[in-house]
Amino acid sequence: MRRRDFVGVVSGGMLAWSSATGAQQPAMPVVGFLHGASRSYLEQFLDALRAGLGEAGFVEGQNVAIEYRWAEGHYDRLSALAADLVNRQVAVIMAMGGTDPARAARAATSTIPIVFVSAADPVQTGLVASLNRPGANVTGVSLIASALDAKKLGLLHELVPKASVIAGLTNPKYPGVKGQIEEIQETGSSLGLKAILLSASDEDELAAAFASAKQQGAGAILVASDPFFNSHSGRLVALAAQHSIPTIYPQREYILGGGLISYGPDFADGYRNGGLYVGKILKGAKPAELPVVQPVKFELVINLRTAKTIGLEVPPTLLATADELVE
C-alpha cells in the first residue's frame, strides 16, 4: 500500500471513530422551569435552587440547561407556558410559585417528571396522592405556609394587643384562598377580634386594600401567603409604612426589605430541596417514589427598626422567641 493511501485509511478510521464517540456522548439535559410570579421575585432564591442542583452534581450551563417561563402573576398564562415546555421535550419540569404552576404542568403531561415548590397542602389541592408516596409523575416540596394564618394572627394579636380589629389580605385568585379566609375568620373570632377581609390581585388593588383597612379602623394587617403578594413584597412593605399599620408577612424576605414581622418556613431552603429533587430525578429517581419534603422549622423574624419607626414596642415574649431580630 502506498503511503498516501495508508494515511487516507488511517484518517478515515479516526474520523469514523471520532463521530461514533461523539454520538455516544449524552446530550445536556434540559429542565423546564415554570413559575407563577416574576423573575425579579425569584432572583433571591436562584442561588438556593442552584445549590440544590449542585448537591446532586448538576451545574447550570455545564451539564444541565434550564428553560425559564414566568407567568408574572397572570395564572391564566400557565397552561400555555406549560404546554410550551412539554413541546420542547424537557427532561423535568420545576413548577414553583404556588399550586397553579404544578397543576398546569400536570395537565400538560403525565409522563415528564414534575417537581413543585408550593405553600399549599399538596394532598388537599390534589397534586399528590399522599406525602410519603406521591404517585404518578409529581413530587416536590410543601412549605405549608398557607396553613399558618392562625399562628400569624395570634402573633399579630400578641404584638398589637390593643387592636380590636385586624384585617386579613388575601388574593381571590389563589387556589387556597377559601381555607385562608376561613382560618382568619375562625381565629379572629376565637381571639375576640373583629376580622375584616381584604382582597387584591393586582397592584392597584393592593393600595386600595390598605386604604380600606385604615378606613375600617384596622389596627393591624395579616398578609396571607401567595406568590403574587411575595413578588410585590416591596410594594406591600411601602404601603404598610405609608399607613403606619403593623403588618405580618409569610416570609422573612419581607422583613429584610423593611417589613415589621414575619412567620413562616425557610423559602430558600424549600427551593434548595426542589433543586435537589430535580437532580435526583435527572439521575434516574422516580418522582412517585420520592416523598414530599416538608419544613421542620418555622421562623419568626422581627424588624426592630421598623417597630421603632411606627412607635411600636415589641413585647419581651416575642423578643425572646424570635429566631432573628433585625436592628
Please state, for a pLDDT cut of 90, what percent of the chain lies above it: 73
Q: What is the pLDDT of residue 71?
A: 87
Same domain, 243 and 179: yes
- 161, with CB counted inside 10 A (0-12, 13-18, 19+), is exposed
CATH of the domain at 70: 3.40.50.2300
DSSP string of 66-93, one letter each residue: EEEEE-TT-GGGHHHHHHHHHHTT-SEE
Mean pLDDT, the chain, integer:
89
Distance (Å, whole) CA 255 – CA 249: 8
Identify whether 51 is part of a domain.
yes
Q: What is the pLDDT of residue 145?
A: 77
Identify whether 10 is part of a domain.
no
Identify whether 13 is part of a domain.
no
Identify whether 238 is part of a domain.
yes
Same domain, 187 and 247: yes
Q: Which residue did the predictor score with more confidence, 7 or 240?
A: 240
Same domain, 38 and 94: yes
290 within 8 A of 274, measured Cβ to Cβ: no
Q: What is the pLDDT of residue 44?
A: 85
Same domain, 193 and 304: yes
Same domain, 169 and 36: no
Identify whether 20 is part of a domain.
no
| Strands 65-70 and 30-35, sheet pairing | parallel
- Structural domains in the chain (count): 2
Q: Give per-residue pLDDT as tens, 252-309.
A: 999 999 999 999 999 899 999 999 999 999 999 999 999 999 988 899 999 999 999 9
Identify whether 197 is part of a domain.
yes
Same domain, 309 and 289: no
Identify whether 21 is part of a domain.
no
Identify whether 12 is part of a domain.
no
With 50 as the cut, is the pLDDT of residue 228 above it? yes
Distance (Å, whole) CA 225 – CA 131: 21
Domain of 190 in residue numbering reads as: 146-265+299-326
Q: What is the pLDDT of residue 223?
A: 97
Angle, CA of 83, 87 and 88, to the nearest 5°: 120
With 50 as the cut, is the pLDDT of residue 10 above it? no
Nearest to 228 by CA among 136, 100, 107: 100
Same domain, 61 and 129: yes
With 90 as the cut, is the pLDDT of residue 93 above it? yes
Same domain, 126 and 155: no
Same domain, 161 and 249: yes
Q: What is the pLDDT of residue 7?
A: 41
Q: Give per-residue pLDDT as tens, 103-141.
A: 999 999 999 999 999 887 888 888 999 999 998 999 999
> Per-residue confidence at 76, pLDDT binned at 50, 70, 90?
confident
Same domain, 178 and 115: no
User: 210 is written with which cell numbers?
Assistant: 390598605
Q: Give per-residue pLDDT as tens, 29-43.
A: 999 999 988 788 788
- Per DSSP (E only), the strands in 185-297 are 194-199, 220-223, 247-249, 261-265
Same domain, 193 and 305: yes
User: For 163-179, what is the mean pLDDT?
Assistant: 91
pTM: 0.82
Distance (Å, whole) CA 62 – CA 24: 18
User: For 59-70, what is the mean pLDDT?
Assistant: 96
Same domain, 135 and 204: no
Please state, for a pLDDT cut of 70, what percent of the chain lies above it: 92
Distance (Å, whole) CA 98 – CA 125: 11
